[in-house]
Amino acid sequence: MTKAFATALAVATALAGGTLAAAAQEIVLRSADTHPDGYPTVEAVKYMSDVLKQSTDGRISIQVFDSHQLGEEKETIEQTKFGVIDLDRVNFAPMNGIVPATIVPCMPYIFTSKENMREVMDGPIGEDILKAFEPAGYVGLAVYDSGARSFYNSKHPIKTLDDLKGLKFRVIQSDLFVDMVNALGANATPMAYGEVYSGLQTGLIDGAENNWPSYESSKHYEVAKYYSLDQHSQCPEVLMMSKISWDKLSPEDQKAVREAAKKSVTKMRELWDAQEAKSRKIVEDAGVEINEVDVKPFIKAMDPIYEKYADTPELKELVKRVRDTQK
């Protein structure tokens, strides 16, 4: 080997190695969230990024775009499908029409408690639901808590089904929720989360439905001061990845992403429990009128929803499997 050739070879090798190292080094996954910085879902994905950085020697990290910077949930779901966004943290509800299995954990009063929801979503039922994302172009990575959704409005407390009559509620964007709230006797209108505050303020809607941390962090409590704890759904959150982005990762990196996502679930639950209490305190201190609800008639009114939405053998079976955990 001549000296010149050896030098050229060394340079070429270094360059190739360098390019590879640079390419391998810099993977920054873009992740969307509708919630503001500090919200448990946002913090959980940031935590996941730290875990991932550690397990990949700093090669892979996640940049979280909070406060719907990348769009409202319907838009980010679409963009994630096309690989424009790598990761998306959304509620299961706007996925109901895209991944039918997500309907089951959103069903009214399907879980008996927070613990029951966690147990179901941690086990084989949760795994099966996450797997159902793949044919739709997503990889389901983790399920996060979302507490229980209850009604709030600007008119009066909801104590009975009669109190819902004539009120117009914004619901999360899912037909299941439209039908659920209509079945309870109110008028449901689906709308993007970011439009709810002004909708309440201008009187376009009388109320909406959500959990403590969302009710508080969105400041909806400022314009809808009656919060009635009917807890009609415990529909959880999901962290999903674009199948297009996923397929670009090596199997080892896919494994690292999955593991980091799983670890973020434990972290999220700690943050969630603390945030629920904190948010409740904030709205109580702000003078919100909170009331408990006798939910028996509410549960009864949901029978047609089970008939309409658990309408395939697969979904019926999933509902049964959830019920079996409660025996």
- If DSSP codes are grouped into helix, strand and coil, which group holds residue 132? coil
Given 102, 153, 211, 264, the residue binding ligand GTR (CB under 6 A): 211
* Helix or strand (DSSP H, E) at 264: helix 251-285
Burial class (CB in 10 A: 0-12, 13-18, 19+), 297: middle
Q: Are strands 187-190 and 168-171 parallel, antiparallel or unpaired?
A: parallel
Contact call for residue 86 and ligand GTR (CB under 6 A): no
Binding mask 18-47 for ligand GTR (x = CB under 6 A): ----------------x-------------
Report how far residue 161's alpha carbon sits from residue 298's, in angstroms, rounded to the nearest whole number. 7
Report how far residue 269's alpha carbon sits from residue 172's, in angstroms, rounded to the nearest whole number. 22
**Amino acid at position 101, single letter:** A
Cβ density class 102-141: b for 16+ within 10 Å, e for less: bbbbbbbbbbeebeebbebbeeebbeebbebbeebbbbbb
Contact call for residue 90 and ligand GTR (CB under 6 A): yes
Q: Minimum CB separation from ligand GTR for residue 181, in Å? A: 12
CB closer to ligand GTR out of 92 and 246: 92
Q: Minimum CB separation from ligand GTR for residue 138, in Å? A: 15
In the chain, the N- to C-terminal Cα span, in Å, equals 77
Given 31, 76, 91, 153, the residue binding ligand GTR (CB under 6 A): 91
Candidates 8-16, 117-125, 208-216, 290-298; binding stretch for ligand GTR (CB under 6 A) = 208-216
Q: Minimum CB separation from ligand GTR for residue 188, in Å? A: 12
Contact call for residue 73 and ligand GTR (CB under 6 A): yes
Q: Minimum CB separation from ligand GTR for residue 288, in Å? A: 17
CB closer to ligand GTR out of 259 and 273: 273
CB closer to ligand GTR out of 253 and 276: 276
CB closer to ligand GTR out of 73 and 86: 73
Q: Minimum CB separation from ligand GTR for residue 190, in Å? A: 9
Place of tokens 């990761």: 87
Q: What's the longest Cα–Cα distance across the chain?
A: 93
Place of tokens 């104590």: 159
Q: DSSP assignment of 82-120, as one string?
A: TTSSSEEEEESGGGTTTSGGGHHHHSTT--SSHHHHHHH
Q: Minimum CB separation from ligand GTR for residue 34, in Å? A: 5
Contact call for residue 279 and ligand GTR (CB under 6 A): no
CB closer to ligand GTR out of 146 and 153: 146
Q: What backbone phi and psi angles, to 5 degrees, belong to 207?
A: -165, -175
Given 148, 172, 223, 322, the residue binding ligand GTR (CB under 6 A): 172
Q: Minimum CB separation from ligand GTR for residue 143, in Å? A: 12
Given 214, 217, 231, 279, the residue binding ligand GTR (CB under 6 A): 214
Catalog residues that contact ligand GTR under the rule CB under 6 A. 34, 73, 90-91, 146, 172, 193, 210-211, 214, 237
